[in-house]
Amino acid sequence: MSLRFALLAILRVGPLSGYDLQKQFHQSVGHVWHAPDSQIYPELRKMETDGLIEGEEQTRGERGTRRVYHVTDAGERAFLEWMESPLDYQRVRDPAHLRAAYLESATPAAAREFLERHIAHWESELEQFDGELTHIANLSNPMLTRRLAVTPDEDRERTIEFKRFAYEGLAERARVEIEWARRGLELLDRLY
């Protein structure tokens, strides 16, 4: 259900074609809400039938077309309402901690590999988050600058600070996962 709000968050900055949206998506909100193209295009169509966005068919070259979407008033309202509404927390479903709890059933080699992969996974996430934080600090994030361009002066600091806040939370989470898995490796050394 959050997918549409993730999409609205991007579209609210300005009209975009499905393709451009999808690209912006993967570089920005996609960090907190992944969705493949095959989910984005149909969702845009559904949002259109629900009246949250409107699409305009544009020609491109001789025969090509693309559909450029913009947020309607109803879409804007829906987004703001979502921002005011209590967030529903979905229940935990954490394969890594599930496996960690039963690591005595794995061979030491598999246990070690699991932890090393965990570290690698979160290091790569951390790299992305830190990259985003740099872009935010430099105002070199394209979505953020586009957003700031349409933001009243008194909201600019807030816009930047909340984005930084969100990514700092993600980066810290990544660091904690890495430290945890490192402790796991030490534990392995002790136990075998």
Partner DNA sequence: CTCATCATGTAAATTGTTACATGATTCA
Partner DNA sequence: TGAATCATGTAACAATTTACATGATGAG
Residue 37 makes contact with its own copies by CB under 8 A: no
Whether residue 15 contacts residue 58, with contact meaning beta carbons closer than 8 Å, is answered with: no
Residue 173 makes contact with DNA by CB under 7 A: no
The amino acid sitting at 128 is Q
**Given the structure tokens 């361009």, which residue do they identify?**
149
Binder of DNA out of 15, 27, 30, 41 (CB under 7 A): 41
Measured CA to CA, the distance from residue 177 to residue 123 in angstroms comes to: 9
* Residue 41 C-beta: closest distance to DNA, Å: 4
Q: SS3 for 92?
A: coil
Instruction: Output 129-134 pairs: Cβ under 8 A, ≥24 positions apart.
Output: 129/31, 129/167, 129/170, 129/171, 129/174, 130/171, 132/31, 132/167, 133/164, 133/167, 133/168, 133/171
Q: Which does 142 bind (CB under 5 to 8 A by kind): DNA, its own copies, none?
A: none
Sheet (strand 53-60) strand order: 16-17, 64-71, 53-60
How many of the chain's residues bind its own copies (CB under 8 A)? 65
The stretch among 14-22, 48-56, 57-65, 179-187 that binds its own copies (CB under 8 A) is 179-187
Measured CA to CA, the distance from residue 114 to residue 184 in angstroms comes to: 10
Q: SS3 for 165?
A: helix
Residue 38 makes contact with DNA by CB under 7 A: yes
Q: Which does 139 bind (CB under 5 to 8 A by kind): its own copies, DNA, none?
A: none
The stretch among 15-23, 143-151, 164-172, 176-184 that binds DNA (CB under 7 A) is 15-23
Task: Give me 36's structure tokens.
Answer: 């493949």
Binders in 63-122 for DNA, by CB under 7 A: 63-67, 88, 90-91, 93
Secondary structure letter of residue 14 according to DSSP: S
Residue 2 makes contact with its own copies by CB under 8 A: yes
Residue 66 makes contact with its own copies by CB under 8 A: no
Contacts with its own copies by CB under 8 A lie at 2, 5-6, 9, 29, 31-34, 79-80, 83-84, 86-107, 110, 113-114, 117-118, 121, 125, 151, 155, 157-159, 161-163, 165-170, 172-173, 176-177, 180, 183-184, 187, 191
Contacts with DNA by CB under 7 A lie at 1-3, 17-20, 22-23, 34-39, 41-42, 44-45, 60-67, 88, 90-91, 93
